[in-house]
Structure 1
Amino acid sequence: MKQIVLASGNKGKLKEFAEMFNTFNIEVLPQNQFDVPEVAETGTTFVENAIIKARHAAEITGLPAIADDSGLEVDALDGAPGIYSARYSGATAEGNYNKLLGAIEATPAPRTARFQCVLVYMRHAKDPTPIICQAAWEGEIGFEPKGNNGHGYDPVFIPCGYQQTAAELSSDEKNHLSHRGKALKLLLEAFKQQGILG
């Protein structure tokens, strides 16, 4: 079984990646299993931060690495919280979405927003041509958090064409629709084209 390290300790992300890759006989392992410390995300874009994280994990583990940098762009906030989504309030996921709801309290519906996901795969730390895949999930921000099947901003994000929040969808539905699910499909396609999948 091929092993790839995921440059994250996030259990929600690990679950999504593991489910997608398991079918292809690829084992996705979290970087904290190898005592990989967090690396400073000093980039100004999702792409730069994903490359920094993947290179760091590949360097320390000696394994191929996947990193994802993702976040929420809210149009009323000129794309914020963006690359700072995970640390927007400096507190918890609940703190983040509550700060967001406060910031756009006076904004009428539709409060358009999208999740962005950039995935980077590096064969090794010095990989000069990492695979980079990007996908978005369009929707809007609701007025109150709903649902508990998800992480991050899922309880306040209502996908286009839905009445429910992302946190009210089943895992299967979410994997099919989400920015990360779409980016993962693009990554799997790239893997097939480049012969990375057995």
Structure 2
Amino acid sequence: MPRLGTGKLVIATHNAGKLKEIQALLAPYGIECVSAGALGLPEPAETGTTFVENALIKARAAAEASQIPALADDSGLCVDALGGAPGVYTADWAEAGRFEGGPGRDWYMAMGKVEGKLAGVAAEFARVAAESGESPRELDRSCHFACVLAIAWPDGSHAVYEGRAHGTLTWPPRGTLGFGYDPVFVPLGDTRTFAELDPAEKHAISHRADAFAKLVADQFSA
């Protein structure tokens, strides 16, 4: 399998927030990052049912189209009480629309959808408890962010690295520094959401950082 060296790497994303995080994580290794969006590459259909499958779809498509090694990230929020949902459909829960004059996803709506479904679970617990005369079960708000990083080379080679960040969900959303579901995710050991953490703090403990630590150990170690 080839290894990354200094040079250009396509980041297979059209998400500016995700690109910024990946650039920061790769900066110490002399990697020049260019996004698939900047190269005008189309977004492939993410037809996989796992994070690994979708990350490889994106990385392979970008590497083939650009003839440059490509790195793709597929990540999502997995909520225990919702059976791991939204999982690979994390972005789909944030329906696309136009915001402040440009295209984007409605992440506030997505966070509200998660909270609404949790409220539905809590209501079901209360209904069952009322029928049985017992105290309702406590709602489990534990969750984790999952991240899979896939590197694909134009020759068809690939490598995959997986990371996680465990935490709990809070409501209402707090903070303005993150993106996606960050404003409702409180990492274990802290009381602040990802969106309230300084980016350097978040980078040190995030699911993406966990996956990147594994990538770096494999790709840049002597």
1:124 Cα deviation after fit: 1.8
Decide which of 67, 85, 88 is 2:90's aligned counterpart.
85
Aligned to 2:108: 94
Distance 1:89 1:37 in 2: 20
- Give me the whole-angstrom Cα distance separating, in 2, the residues matched to 1:32 and 1:152: 18
Tell me the equivalent position of 1:186.
Answer: 214
2:190 is matched with which residue? 162
Gaps spanning 5+ residues in structure 1: where? Answer: none
Residues 56, 125 of structure 1: 8 Å contact kept: no
Match of residue 104, structure 1, among 97, 118, 125: 118
1:94-133 to structure 2, matched below 5 A, reads 94-105=108-119, 107=122, 108=138, 110-124=140-154, 126-127=156-157, 130-133=158-161
Question: Is the Cα contact below 8 Å between 2:81 and 2:140 reproduced in 1?
Answer: no
The partner residue of 1:72 within 71, 74, 77 is 77
Retained in 2: the 8 A contact 1:139–1:160?
A: yes
Equivalent AA in structure 2 for residue 145 of structure 1: P
Q: Distance in 1 between matches of 2:42 and 2:165?
A: 30
1:7-50 CA-partner distances (Å, limit 9, x unpaired): 00111111111112121111111001211001000001000000
Query: Normalised by the size of structure 1, how large is the TM-score?
Result: 0.92
Q: Which structure 2 residue ranges, 5 or more long, are not aligned? A: 1-5, 97-105, 123-137
AA aligned opposite 2:210? K
Aligned-partner Cα distance in 1 for 2:94–2:143: 18
Partner of 1:177: 205
Residue correspondences, number: 192
Shift of 1:144: 1.1
Q: Distance in 1 between matches of 2:195 and 2:24?
A: 18
**TM-score of the superposed pair, with normalisation by structure 2:** 0.83
State percent identity of aligned pairs. 41
RMSD: 1.4
Structure 1 residue matching 2:44: 3-state secondary structure? coil
Rg larger for: 2
Give the deviation of 1:126 after TM superposition: 1.7
Structure 2 residue corresponding to 1:3, chosen from 5, 8, 28: 8
Q: Does 1:22 align with 2:27?
A: yes
